[in-house]
Amino acid sequence: MAEYVEFNKKKVIRIVIIAVVVIFILSFSGRMFTTIPAGHGGVIFRTFMGGVDQEKIYGEGLHVIAPWNKMVVYETRQQEIAETMNVLSSNGLEIAADISAWYEPIESDMPQLHSNIGTDYLRRVVIPAMRSSARSVIGRYTPEQIYSTARDAIQDEIYIETKKILDEKYVQLDRVLIRSVTLPTAIKDAIERKLKQEQESLEYEFRIQKAEKEAERQIIEAQGKARANDIINASLTDKILQEKGIEATVKLSESGNSKVVVIGNNKNGLPLILGDSK
Residues 96-126 have pLDDT tens digits of: 889 999 999 999 999 999 999 999 999 999 9
At 143 the pLDDT is: 79
Q: 178 and 112, same structural domain?
A: yes
Domain final position from 19, 40, 75: 75
Tens of pLDDT along 144-190? 787 777 888 999 999 999 999 999 999 999 999 998 888 766 665 66
**CA nearest to 59, candidates 32, 45, 39, 30:** 39
Q: What percent of the chain clears pLDDT 90, i.e. is strictly above it? A: 33
At 172 the pLDDT is: 96
At 237 the pLDDT is: 63
Evaluate if residue 247 carries a pLDDT over 80.
Answer: no
Mean pLDDT of 46-72: 88
Q: 114 and 128, same structural domain?
A: yes
Mean pLDDT of 45-52: 86
**Whole-model pTM?**
0.60
Domain final position from 144, 160, 183: 183
Question: What 8-state DSSP symbol labels residue 160?
Answer: H
Q: 208 and 162, same structural domain?
A: no
| Per-residue confidence band for 36, with pLDDT thresholds at 50, 70 and 90 | very high
Q: 124 and 50, same structural domain?
A: no
Which distant-in-sequence residues (6+ apart) come within 8 Å of 52 by Cβ? 43, 44, 45, 46, 111, 114, 115
Domain final position from 167, 183, 199: 183
**Dihedral sign computed on CA atoms, order 21, 23, 26, 32:** negative
| Per-residue confidence band for 92, with pLDDT thresholds at 50, 70 and 90 | confident
Taking the C-alpha atoms of residue 228 and residue 64, their distance in angstroms, rounded to an integer, is: 98
Q: 66 and 100, same structural domain?
A: no
Q: 156 and 88, same structural domain?
A: yes
Q: 173 and 89, same structural domain?
A: yes
Q: What percent of the chain clears pLDDT 70, i.e. is strictly above it? A: 65
Q: 119 and 52, same structural domain?
A: no
Q: 87 and 24, same structural domain?
A: no
Which distant-in-sequence residues (6+ apart) come within 8 Å of 89 by Cβ? 95, 138, 139, 141, 142, 143, 146
At 263 the pLDDT is: 46
Q: Tell me, rounded to whole angstroms, the distance of Cα 44 from its chain centroid.
A: 39
Domain assignment of residue 173, given as a range: 79-183
Evaluate if residue 266 carries a pLDDT over 90.
Answer: no
SS3 73: strand
Helix boundaries (H) for 170-184:
none
Evaluate if residue 196 carries a pLDDT over 80.
Answer: no
DSSP-derived pairing of the beta strands 33-36 and 70-75: unpaired
Evaluate if residue 265 carries a pLDDT over 70.
Answer: no
- Backbone φ and ψ for 262, nearest 5 degrees, come out as -115, 125
Q: 93 and 167, same structural domain?
A: yes
Q: 121 and 109, same structural domain?
A: yes
| Per-residue confidence band for 248, with pLDDT thresholds at 50, 70 and 90 | low
Number of folded domains that form the chain: 4
Q: 222 and 246, same structural domain?
A: no
Evaluate if residue 69 carries a pLDDT over 80.
Answer: yes
